[in-house]
Amino acid sequence: MENNQYLREEIIRMSGVNPTKCMKCGKCSGTCPAYDEMEYHPHQFVSMVDNGEIEPLLNSTSIYKCLSCFACIERCPRGVEPAKVVEAVRLIAIRRQGANRMTANDIPAMVDEDTPQQLLVSAFRKYTK
């Protein structure tokens, strides 16, 4: 099985999360509003990062599905903060060359007359470096 210690450490350092604190209760995934959109779920992010299985996460669209709603952070009994792990994995993916998920050219197709700027700004922050 893949065990990328370098990326594991990098994610731990960036996110400030200690994945060993996880007691595998699944409350993060039980509370996640984007669960159905995800291939890998919040608890899997924590567990896979702890095991150094990072590539599957980097290659999955799950990293763009986290809504940053922080419900998992709020409700985790162990203070693990799964959303921060997802965020760190996403940044590593997005910082790789040519990895932008969205470009300005994509925008016109997405907007309607009511689309708030906030939506585009947020999406850009999440999908591009």
Partner 1 sequence: MQRVGVFVCWCGSNIAGTVDVQAVSEALKNEPGVVFSTNYQYMCSQAGQDMIKNAVKEHRLTGIVVCSCSPRMHEATFRKTAAAAGINPYMVEIANIREQCSWVHKDMLTGTEKAIILGKAAVAKVNLNTPLIPGESPVTKRALVIGGGIAGIQTALDIADAGFPVDIVEKQPTIGGKMAQLDKTFPTLDCAACILTPKMVDVAQNENIRIFSYSEVTEVKGFVGNFDVTIKKKARFVNEDICTGCGACVEKCPMKKVPNEFNLGMDNRHAIYIPFAQAVPKVATIDPNACNMLKNGKCGLCARVCAAGAIDYKQKDQFIEEKYGAIVVATGFNPISMEKFDEYAYSQSKDVITSLEFERLTNAAGPSAGKLIRPSDGKHPHTIVFVQCVGSRCESCAEKGKEYCSKICCMYTAKHAMLTRDKYPDTEVYVFYIDVRTPGKNFDEFYRRAVEEYGVKYVKGMVGKIVPEGDKLKVQASDLIANRQLHIDADLVVLAAAIEPDKSARPLATMLTASMDTNDFFTEAHPKLRPVESPTAGVFLSGACQGPKDIPETVSQAGAAAAKVIGLLAKDKLMGNPCVAQSDELMCNGCSTCANVCPYGAISYEDKEFRMPDRTTKIRRVAAVNPAVCQGCGACTVACPSGAMDLKGFANSQIMAEVDAICK
Partner 2 sequence: MKVSYFPGCTLKNKAKDLDAYAYRSAEALGITLEEIENWQCCGGVFTTANNEVATKLSSVRALKEANDKAQPLVTVCSACHNVIKQTNHAMQNDKAFADKVNRYMAADGGYAGEAEVYHYLEMLRDLVGFETVKKKVVNSLKGKKIAAYYGCLLLRPNSVMRMDDPENPSIMEDFIRALGADAVIYARRNECCGGYISVESPDAAKKNSNAIIENAKAAGAQMIITACPLCKYNLVKSGADIPVVYFTELLAEALGVKEDTNGK
Name which of residues 104 to 123 contact partner 2 (CB under 8 A): 110, 114-123
The CA distance from 87 to 85, in Å, is 5
Stretch in the footprint of partner 2 (CB under 8 A) among 22-30, 42-50, 51-59, 85-93: 85-93
**Residue span binding partner 2 (CB under 8 A) among the ranges 1-9, 10-18, 22-30, 44-52:** 10-18
Q: How far is CA 116 from CA 19, 112, 122, in A?
A: 36, 9, 10
Of the candidates 123, 58, 119, 109, the one whose C-alpha atom is nearest the C-alpha of residue 85 is 58
Site string for partner 1, 14-33 (x = CB under 8 A): -------x-xxxxxxxxxx-
16 counts as binding partner 2 under rule CB under 8 A: yes
Query: Any contact of residue 71 with partner 2 (CB under 8 A)?
Result: yes
Residues with Cβ within 8 Å of residue 15, at least 6 apart in sequence: 81, 84, 85, 87, 88
Q: How many residues bind partner 1 (CB under 8 A)?
A: 21
Q: Examine residue 35 and tell whether it contacts partner 1 (CB under 8 A).
A: yes
